[in-house]
């Protein structure tokens, strides 16, 4: 599988970064700016290619992408909506009716929206049709990000600084049962987390976890057993908040405050 990650590049830092994703040969970085919030870089030299503007977005949360539809989705907490932006800059949006937090795209090319404060997953089509809504089990409090596996189960990271349990869970396809889990009481020991904030999953369903308060990225097996630390606090020097994995190039993008750290895995 993968070895311990090696930092190969850091995208320039300035305004806060709220997410990173990739489509083809480009990396999309979501920054806190009044205009041109999405910066597009090439994946070879990481030179800025262009910027895309998202009008009237007061509260950025996350960004994800869809290779099939060639577009990115941006969560807007203040507007309780999702903004859809294609690679040429065409813009639409739809309501979520709850505050969105983490975003991902499943194998059916639908958008999964993690609604943290109501403990729900909402699945939308690419054009905003609500397909289903799942309420997570009661002990999966404060879910931050959800990724769906090929067999339809959900991998969820949950737990805020005030919560007694910080875990990564695998949840059944109907959202009712926790099938497997990793973590427990918040701590810095191996096998524990301090706010597991975001996930990335490779094509073999190994799971990368942004362990925010412990300033590291952890790797789990497909059955959520601990494998190793991929990126350490010495590499990051701040709190990792978002992840994106370029499976083809084996590059893990880690959002750390105003920077994006590029790690070879």
What is the percentage of the chain residues whose pLDDT exceeds 70? 99
| Cβ within 8 Å of residue 262, ≥6 positions away | 7, 8, 9, 10, 11, 46, 251, 252, 253, 254
Does residue 149 surpass a pLDDT of 90?
A: yes
User: What is the reported pLDDT for 1?
Assistant: 41
Does residue 153 surpass a pLDDT of 90?
A: yes
Is residue 118 helix, strand or coil? Answer: helix
User: What is the reported pLDDT for 88?
Assistant: 79
Is residue 101 helix, strand or coil? Answer: coil
Confidence bin at 3 (pLDDT 50/70/90) = very low
Confidence bin at 189 (pLDDT 50/70/90) = very high
CA 81, chain centre distance (Å): 17
Does residue 158 surpass a pLDDT of 70?
A: yes
Q: Mean pLDDT over all residues of the chain? A: 93
- What is the residue extent of each domain of the chain? 6-264
Mean pLDDT of the region 125-142 = 94
| Topology at the third CATH level for domain 6-264 | Neuraminidase (2.120.10)
Does residue 199 surpass a pLDDT of 60?
A: yes
Confidence bin at 66 (pLDDT 50/70/90) = very high
User: What is the reported pLDDT for 56?
Assistant: 79
Mean pLDDT of the region 50-64 = 90
Q: What is the pLDDT of residues 224-263, one digit of tens each?
A: 999 999 999 988 889 999 999 999 999 999 999 889 999 9
Distance from C-alpha of 241 to C-alpha of 227, rounded to nearest angstrom: 21
């Amino acid at each position: 599988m993968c070895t311990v990650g090696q930092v190969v590049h850091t995208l320039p830092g300035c305004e806060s970064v709220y997410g990173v994703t990739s489509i083809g040969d480009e990396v999309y970085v979501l920054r806190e700016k009044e205009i041109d919030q999405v910066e597009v870089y090439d994946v070879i030299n990481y030179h800025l290619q262009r910027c895309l503007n998202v009008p009237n977005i007061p509260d950025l949360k996350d960004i994800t992408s869809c290779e099939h539809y060639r577009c990115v989705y941006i969560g807007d907490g203040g507007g309780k909506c999702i903004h859809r932006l294609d690679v040429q800059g065409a813009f639409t949006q739809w309501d979520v009716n709850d505050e969105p937090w983490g975003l991902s795209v499943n194998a059916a090319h639908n958008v999964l929206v993690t609604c943290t404060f109501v403990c729900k997953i909402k699945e939308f089509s690419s054009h905003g049709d609500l397909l289903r809504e799942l309420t997570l089990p009661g002990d999966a409090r404060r879910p931050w990000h959800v990724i769906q596996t090929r067999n339809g189960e959900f991998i969820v990271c949950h737990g805020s600084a005030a919560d007694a349990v910080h875990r990564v869970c695998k949840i059944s396809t109907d959202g009712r049962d926790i099938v497997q889990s990793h973590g427990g009481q918040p701590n810095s020991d191996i096998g524990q987390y301090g706010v597991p904030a975001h996930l990335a999953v490779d094509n073999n369903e190994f799971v990368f976890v942004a362990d925010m308060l412990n300033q590291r990225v952890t790797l789990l097996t497909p059955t959520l057993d601990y494998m190793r630390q991929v990126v350490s606090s010495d590499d990051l020097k701040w709190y990792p908040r978002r992840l994106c994995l370029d499976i083809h190039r084996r590059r893990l993008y880690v959002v750390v405050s105003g920077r994006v750290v590029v790690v070879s895995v």
